[in-house]
Structures are given as structure tokens and as C-alpha cells.
Amino acid sequence: MTTSTSSALRALARTHGLRASYENNDGETVWTPPATLIRMLHALNPAFSPAQLEINPERYLEQISSRRYDRTPAPQTWVAWNGTLPDIDLWWSGEIEGVVLSLTFSTNDVDNKRASSPRKRGSFGNESSEDPRLRGDDENGWEAENTISEIPCALKILRTRDGHTRYRLQPDTKKAALSFGYYDAALRINGRETFRGQIISAPLNIRRKDDRKLWGAFAPLYALRRHPDSAIGTYPDLQQAGRAIRKHGGDLIGTLPLLPVFYDRGDISPYSPVSRFFWNEIYLDTAALPFDDEKPETEPENVASSSPSVQDEDALYIDYPKIYTAKKSRISAAAQRFFAARRHEDPKTRYPEFLEEYPLAPRYARFRAEVSSNPDKDAETRFHLYAQYACFMQTRVLSLDAGGAHDQAAELYLDYPVGVHPDGFDAHAFPDLFLQNVNVGAPPDALAASGQDWGFRALHPQKLADQRYVYFRDTLRHYFRFARLVRLDHVMGLYRLYCLPHGIPQTEGAYLMFPFETMLAIVCLEAHLHGATVIGEDLGTVPRTVRKAMDRHGLYRMWIWPFELQTTPGATYRTIPAGAIAALNTHDVFPYRAFIDCLDLEAWRTAGMMSLPALDAALKARQKQLHSWKSRDLKLTDVLAQLGRSPATFVMVNFEDLWGETRPQNMPGTTHQYRNWQKRFLLSIDDWQQNADVAEALSILDRNRKKRGSQ
């Protein structure tokens, strides 16, 4: 490829949001190979021929250049932060005599009508302020006066080129202080409608309004056990754990994504969900299925063959096929009875309400039946439909029980995954939204020298915009309906994603840019409407643009002890910022005891993920880091006290750290080398509630959090 052809290819890539280069962890510039750009451009626009892109990208670049004076302004969606309308730039040939912007408050069900949360607002610090833009007064949670007919615009000429003029339209903001919500916009120039689009009016900052210092505990739901012989956690178990944390003074119970996965295909990762619209049926308490006449007193499908123990390695891990098969049989029988008795027609069962809240449920159930090996497609459809109805009923109880009172459960803290399964419902129902033959991953770094392929497909930024971001918005609503604190996994994905066309080495991916401001506006608006708070997972190398935007808009950052470890305790804890959630680890990090004993490094070496020289170097670096730490500084209760006294808004503790667990829940990048997402807790909920060491650690954390909050 000649220099001019390569330059044209990179220029064409930029017009489609592709970065021709990026800066790696060492500050070096990495250029995206032409083969990657060609495949990405073809995925973004199938009209582009890969053969032509290789020999004559100038042809396509000229076509795009010839349309640069199109009258359609970009983007298709504008953001009105705090209700202030933005300026609009566009090219125009000829003279503009008058411009009017018409706005109509959207009444579409997928926009404002369904945006209000069905759950109550608790004392979590995100209550509406006195600003009338933040209040919702009509039956849909909105103010009726938000329909605005016409807004005059002033004109400013920016430049003239080739007989075309670049104008800046400046709406009269005094005549339109917008309440928060989604608006249909129409732009009329010289009396003729020229463009239709969308305006999102969103709060500029969604940070909590109070100064309380909160804390909570983390537990993967599959690992929770109500009783010593429980095989897997259930939604009521999460509620019980939340109540226990509340009794210790805590505010949050955190867990991994609770979305459905393909258990019947052997997929168990919570980060590869079938859909981001529905809940996982394996966590249903089958002894509490709604409107089932044959409820057992206990849940016989959820009894393990033996309790987990250090001595019995196999008993420590979940037998997903066995549990899912047993639960499915029980739920299927209940579904048959429910529909045969026509109880789905009775409003008292709340089934009609369920369908109103989840209009995609019938389509989802049919999809699951079509891809299932079960030959009885009707029975399979009934199973998935009833299972989602049961999830709706049980998660609703869990959500409504959460609040600020001592006798209520702690608020739910959920993780929103960055992607979905490539063969799942979302990719099937919205095929245009996902790039074909393109996966998402991460470039080479210290953790994975050859890069990472996460196995799910990237969203198409332009298609997402064409559909007014409904998919992104509605999947957020699924979370915000029931969780008061939501962590956006890989928050950098709102800004850019590292994309890997199929057949391209993981080291040769390309960054695809997303409409960052619009995505942030939707997050801020939806979080505000539901009284929720947002954490952005910003671990690792994150562009300054992303972190600056997080601070500006009130998304909380993450502070993880091993990643911030300095040579002294004082230097370490001084790095904790106020607008953050602080924790000893995450689900992708080894437990605390394993880290300070360097057991994690040995495990990486055993898994074949670290060479012997790398292990030796890592051991020396770890020992150097901890050399000045005295034994009392590394005592778990002392570290929790320090985190409790820190300025961090939230502190989370991993339940397993409280009893000295050393095995992680997940080792990123491993497959057969480690049994990811399968390990049950050594202690049941009943056990740890009676454990003196657990009680002491939680008491110390609670006491120091309240002491910090009173300062």
C-alpha cells in the first residue's frame, strides 16, 4: 500500500469514528494496521468493498467529501445539559432568512412515559432538589408544561467555503429552559422543515446530594448460601444477606450481573449474558414461585450433595448442569399449571403488569425456545415466559425491601456488563445494532501481553444513534428499576472500544469511538429519573478525557487497594479520592489474604499465565512494596478501619476476605486453567452471621465510616 493510499485509508477511517493510532501503557504510539482498518470499515459500512479499500480508498473518501455540505446537521441527537439548549452547527447554500427550532416533549413509551421507576426512593442521597427541572409532577412523573412549540434561533456565520456557509444556530435559551427528558426536535429554515432529531435534557451532575459515608459488602449471588447445604444462591438469599448487612450498619449489598446466561450450552460467565433486558432464572427460589398451588415448604432442587469445605475441593464448586436441570423441571411444571389455569389473565397475579413492564418478554421466550434443544417449543416458551414473570415478582420483593430503615435490606449494588453473548437474544432481536464479525477486547498490557478478546460483538455507533439509543437507554432502565447503585463495567466503553475483526490478531485491533456526550447524558438522565447513583469502572489505563467527564458529571470512580499500593500505609491511603468507591479487591482480583501472601502470583504461574522470570520479578516488586508495612498495618481490621476513615463516598468489603479466603472467583484470561464463576462461599449466611470475627470486622468498618461521616 502506497503512502498516499495509506493516508487516504486513515482519513476514511477517521470519518467513521476509527482511530488510526492509540497510545499504549508505555506512552508509545501504536498504529492500527491497514488490514484492521479495512475490515472495520467494511463492518461499519458493508457498501465499502474490502478489495477497493485496499487499492483505492480515495474513491470512498471523495464520495464522503462531496457530501460534506449536506444540509443535515450532525449529530442527530443534541444534549441540553441542565436544560440549556446547545448551539447547532450546519452547512447551508444560499441565504438563511429565518430559523425556528420546534420541540415536543416525547410521549413515546420508549422515551419518557415509561421512564419513571416503579420502586420507591429511599434515603440514598439522590432525591429531587428544589430545581423544578428535577421534579416530576404529572401522572407519568413529568411536568405537563414541557411541550414547547417554537424557539427562535440567532445566526452566526463561522466560515464560507465553495459557495457554502457554515452557520451556528443559537437557540433563545431564555424562551426554553427545558425540564429533564427526551424531546422530538424539528428544525425549520426559511419556513421549510429541514431536519428532525432528538434533544436530551439531562442534569449536568448526578452526584449524591448528602455527605454520608456509606459502606456495603460484596457477594456473587451464585456463591451465597442461606444454609450450609444450599447448592446456589437465590433472590431471597440476596435479600437476607442485605438485611444482615443492614443490621451491622451497612448500606449496600453488591453482586455480579444477574442477567440470564446459556447454562444449557455450558456458558456460565455473568459477563456474557443472553440479554440485558431480563433476569437469571437459576436464582429463583422454587419454593416461592408465584401463584403455584404445589409449592414445597423447602427448595429440594437447591440442595448440594455436601457442604463446601477446604478439604473437599469438588464440594466447593457449583454443579450448574445439575442445578439448572432440576430447577428448570420444577419451574416448567409450575408454568404448565399457571397457564392452564389461565391465571395469566387475572390482574391479581400481576402478570399483565409484568408484560407491561417487559413487553419484549414473549419475544424473548420464543427466542429461547427456538435455540433450545427441547423439541417441545411451546413448553420451552412457557417455561421462559413464566420464569421471567417469577423473576419479576421475586426481584420486585427484593427491591421494595431495600431502604434506609434498620429492619429493611441494604440497597442493591449491581454490575452492568459492557457486552452480551454474540448468539443471545439482544444480538438476535436487534441485529443492525451489532457489528458483524467484530469482537470487543483490550490491547496488550501488563496483564495480557498478547491482548484480550472478550468474545462479544461491538455495538454500531451510527445504528445506535439512528435508533435514538433506545437499546442502551432501556437496558439501563432494566437496572435502574431495581438497583440504587449501578457500576458500569468498562466505563471507557461509553467513549471508545477496542475492536477485533475476526481473523485479526488481538495485538492489532482498532479503537472505535462512540458519541461520548450523548451516552453520558442518557446515563445521567436515567440515573436521575430513578434516584440512582453510578459507578464507572475506570481501572487500568483510562484516557484523561474519560475521567474528567466522570468528575464533571458525577460518576464515581474506583479505588482498589492492590492497584494503588504504595511503599507506606500513609502514602497509600492518601491517594483515596472523595468521589470514589474504595475496596480491597474486585471479582477479578485475588482475595486480600492471597495478595499479601503472594499466593496470587504463584497461581498465575501455575495457570501458565506468567513465566518464571516474570514471577521472580513480581515477587521482588511485591516484597519491596510491602517491606515498610508492619504486620499490624496489614491486619484486615486495620485496613478496613483505614478505608472506613477515608474520604471515599463508598467502601465495599468482599465477604470472603472476612474469613481469609485465598481463592478468587475469577482469573481473567483463563479458561480450563481455573474454575471461574463456580466457587461457593465457605460460610453460609447463617454461619457468618454467627461468626465473631466477621462481626468484629464489620463493626470496625461501620464505626469508622460513621466517624468519618460526622466530621
691: its cell numbers: 461468626
Question: What is the DSSP secondary-structure string of 607-660?
Answer: TTSS-HHHHHHHHHHHHHHHTT--TTTTSHHHHHHHHHHSS-SEEEEEGGGGGT
Residue 16 is predicted with a pLDDT of 94
Residue 141 is predicted with a pLDDT of 34
- Round to whole Å and give the CA distance between 223 and 542: 31
Q: What is the mean pLDDT of residues 601-608?
A: 93
Q: Where are the alpha helices (DSSP H) in 420-576?
A: 425-429, 461-466, 470-480, 516-529, 544-553, 561-564, 569-573
Q: How confident is the model at residue 233 (pLDDT cuts 50, 70, 90)?
A: very high
Q: Is the pLDDT reported for residue 412 higher than 80?
A: yes
Residue 400 is predicted with a pLDDT of 78
212 or 211, which is more confident: 212
Order of strands, sheet of 452-459, starting from the edge strand that comes earlier in the sequence = 452-459, 434-442, 496-501, 510-513
Residue 403 is predicted with a pLDDT of 67
507 or 131, which is more confident: 507
| Segment among 175-189, 409-423, 659-673 with least mean pLDDT | 175-189
Task: For residue range 55-86, list pLDDT tens digits in order.
Answer: 999 999 988 877 766 655 556 899 999 999 99
Q: Is the pLDDT reported for residue 401 higher than 80?
A: no
- Contact between residue 1 and residue 54 where contact means Cβ atoms under 8 Å apart: yes
| Segment among 82-91, 513-522, 573-582 with least mean pLDDT | 82-91
Q: What is the mean pLDDT of residues 193-206?
A: 91
| Segment among 162-176, 354-368, 412-426 with least mean pLDDT | 162-176
Q: Is the pLDDT reported for residue 320 higher than 70?
A: yes
358 or 107, which is more confident: 358
| Non-local CB neighbours of 432 within 8 Å, separated by 6+ positions | 460, 463, 467
Q: Is the pLDDT reported for residue 121 higher than 70?
A: no
Place of cell 421534579: 135
Where in 128-251 does DSSP place strands (E)? 151-161, 164-171, 181-189, 192-202, 214-218
Q: What is the CA radius of gyration of the chain?
A: 27
In a 13 Å sphere around the CA of 370, the CA atoms on its Cβ side amount to 11
For the chain, give the longest Cα–Cα distance.
Answer: 83
Q: Is the pLDDT reported for residue 514 higher than 90?
A: yes
Residue 105 is predicted with a pLDDT of 84
Instruction: Please state the φ and ψ torsions of residue 441, each to the nearest 5 degrees.
Output: -160, -150
- Round to whole Å and give the CA distance between 134 and 143: 10
Q: Is the pLDDT reported for residue 198 higher than 50?
A: yes
Q: Is the pLDDT reported for residue 200 higher than 60?
A: yes
Residue 176 is predicted with a pLDDT of 64
Place of cell 451464585: 222
Residues of 145-173 as b/e, b for ≥16 C-beta within 10 angstroms?
ebebeebebeeeeeeeeeebbebebbbee
158 or 149, which is more confident: 158
Q: Supply the DSSP symbol for 484.
A: S
Q: Is the pLDDT reported for residue 329 higher than 70?
A: yes
142 or 178, which is more confident: 178
Residue 145 is predicted with a pLDDT of 45
| Segment among 276-280, 290-294, 302-306 with least mean pLDDT | 302-306
| Segment among 182-191, 358-367, 575-584 with least mean pLDDT | 182-191
In a 13 Å sphere around the CA of 123, the CA atoms on its Cβ side amount to 12
Q: How many CB atoms lie within 10 A of CB 204?
A: 14
Q: Is the pLDDT reported for residue 311 higher than 70?
A: no
Q: What is the mean pLDDT of residues 97-117?
A: 65
- Contact between residue 522 and residue 473 where contact means Cβ atoms under 8 Å apart: yes
- Contact between residue 295 and residue 353 where contact means Cβ atoms under 8 Å apart: no
Q: What is the mean pLDDT of residues 498-519?
A: 96
- Contact between residue 421 and residue 272 where contact means Cβ atoms under 8 Å apart: yes
- Report the candidate in 485, 468, 370 with the shortest Cα–Cα distance to residue 112: 468
Q: How confident is the model at residue 135 (pLDDT cuts 50, 70, 90)?
A: very low
- Contact between residue 399 and residue 481 where contact means Cβ atoms under 8 Å apart: yes
Residue 298 is predicted with a pLDDT of 66
- Count of helix runs (H) and strand runs (E) in the chain: 22, 21
Task: For residue range 13-41, list pLDDT tens digits in order.
Answer: 999 999 999 988 788 999 999 999 999 99
Q: Supply the DSSP symbol for 263.
A: G
- Contact between residue 203 and residue 473 where contact means Cβ atoms under 8 Å apart: no
Residue 405 is predicted with a pLDDT of 64
Residue 328 is predicted with a pLDDT of 96
Sign of the alpha-carbon dihedral angle for 639, 642, 648, 651: positive
Residue 140 is predicted with a pLDDT of 34
- Contact between residue 428 and residue 502 where contact means Cβ atoms under 8 Å apart: no
417 or 209, which is more confident: 417
Q: Is the pLDDT reported for residue 533 higher than 50?
A: yes
Q: Is the pLDDT reported for residue 219 higher than 50?
A: yes
Q: What is the mean pLDDT of residues 154-169?
A: 88
Residue 142 is predicted with a pLDDT of 36
- Contact between residue 585 and residue 653 where contact means Cβ atoms under 8 Å apart: no
Report field, pTM of the whole predicted structure over 0.85: yes
Q: How many CB atoms lie within 10 A of CB 73?
A: 18
